[in-house]
Structures are given as structure tokens and as C-alpha cells.
Amino acid sequence: GAVVSQHPSWVICKSGTSVKIECRSLDFQATTMFWYRQFPKQSLMLMATSNEGSKATYEQGVEKDKFLINHASLTLSTLTVTSAHPEDSSFYICSAAPLLAGVPYNEQFFGPGTRLTVL
Amino acid sequence: GQNIDQPTEMTATEGAIVQINCTYQTSGFNGLFWYQQHAGEAPTFLSYNVLDGLEEKGRFSSFLSRSKGYSYLLLKELQMKDSASYLCAVKDYGQNFVFGPGTRLSVLP
């Protein structure tokens, strides 16, 4: 159980295009999903916290107009990198925290990640 | 502010024991997590500590001291497949997960 998928797993695009990454919790409902970015040999950096049905909370320094997050259902969140540039090339990982009635989640389950290369 | 420290790199020999330390200063504490991450893959959950003491799970153990803001991950009987990055993460009062820089462990034959 507790499987999270991401699609696509790898994308190469031209500078200036927009890229959408999907994150799905396959066998559980997630009220909260997190989006992380990871550059080579560095740790995960939280970009934003996404709650179903409400606006995402972005970390300081992350442009919300550039990284559009939509959490339309309890099993799907999307991250759209708008007008991508080479410096946006990175490994983007989502995670989902299960919905437990009245109990704060204690764990997050990671998706397999999406490697974005912007030429 | 939020600060989590780990050694950047460690090297150990197959069959040996290695201890990876993590110190933290965060806005509140709601648990500490250890994850393993192989290159190019997503992190996988190893352990969770919310109370002081040692949690043992097979070859892996994790220790927590909340008063000292300190944790360690102990790996026994090291195997080549244990070569990976090990991430320490703290869940703060805002229910956010704050990750440390990760420790790259190399296991040598």
C-alpha cells in the first residue's frame, strides 16, 4: 500500500515551454501533498505544500507564478513549471501525506520523481 | 530558523557498523525521520522517532535525544547496497518536513 506515482518520469523540453508534472496517490487519499526540488548532490528542498481544495503554500524564494500547483482532488496534485529555463532543470519529487481522521499525519510517501531537463 | 546538520560524506567497509549523526534546531518538533535515497531515485522511509530512545528495525537503528536536538542512524553488517544518501528530516510544529543536507555513504569491499 501507500503508493505514489509521478508522471512523466523524465522530460526534456525547450526553453520557454511549460511542463506539467502529475502526482497521484494510488491507494490512499492525501489531504496534503508536498513538492520538492533536488539539485545534483544536494538534499531535498521543499517548494510548496499543497492542500486539497485550497491554494498551495509556497516556501520563501519559490515563485508561485512560475511553479503553478493545483490540488484538485484527494489523489491528484499537479505542478506546472511555466516558461521553463535551463536553471529549472532539476529532479522534482512529490510526496503525499495520508488522510487520517482527526490524526495529524506522521509520514509522507514519496513519488519516484520527475527529472526535468530544459535545453 | 530551521537548521539540520549531517556529515556530508562517510566511508565504511562491508560488514562494518556505521553511525550517521544528525543535529537539529527547528520551529518545534513533531518527530524525526530517516530516509535512504539512491542516486536518481526518490527517498525511501527507514525510521521514525518521536520519543527519546532507540528504535531498532533489523540492521538499522535510530536514536533520538530531544533535549540535545540529536539523532543518529546506526547501520550494522554493512552491505554494498547500503551505499546511498541518508537524509535526516524533522517535522516541525507547522507539520512541515525539514530535510538535512544528507550524508553520502560509500561502502567499500
Q: Please state whether beta strands A114-118 and A57-58 pair in parallel, antiparallel, or not at all (unpaired).
A: unpaired
Which residue is associated with the grid cell 515551454? A17
Mean pLDDT on B17-43:
91
d(CA A87, CA A104): 36
Q: Which phi and psi (to 5°) does residue B24 adopt?
A: -140, 150
B48 contact residues in A (CB cutoff 8 A)? 106-107
- Residues A18-64 have pLDDT tens digits of 999 999 999 888 888 999 999 988 888 999 998 888 889 999 899 99
Nearest C-alpha in B relative to A42: B101
- Residues B60-105 have pLDDT tens digits of 999 999 999 999 999 999 999 999 999 999 988 766 788 899 999 9
What pLDDT, on a 0 to 100 scale, did the predictor assign at position B5?
94
CB contact under 8 A, A44 and B43: yes
Nearest to A47 by CA among A33, A32, A69, A62: A62
Rounded to the nearest angstrom, the minimum Cα separation between A66 and chain B is: 22
Nearest C-alpha in B relative to A104: B95
Nearest C-alpha in A relative to B100: A43
CB burial of A104-117 (b: ≥16 within 10 Å; e: otherwise) equals: ebebbbbbebbebe
Ranges assigned E (strand) in chain B: 3-5, 9-13, 18-25, 32-37, 44-49, 53-57, 60-65, 70-75, 84-91, 97-99, 103-108
Rounded to the nearest angstrom, the minimum Cα separation between A84 and chain B is: 21
Q: Which phi and psi (to 5°) does residue A88 adopt?
A: -85, -5
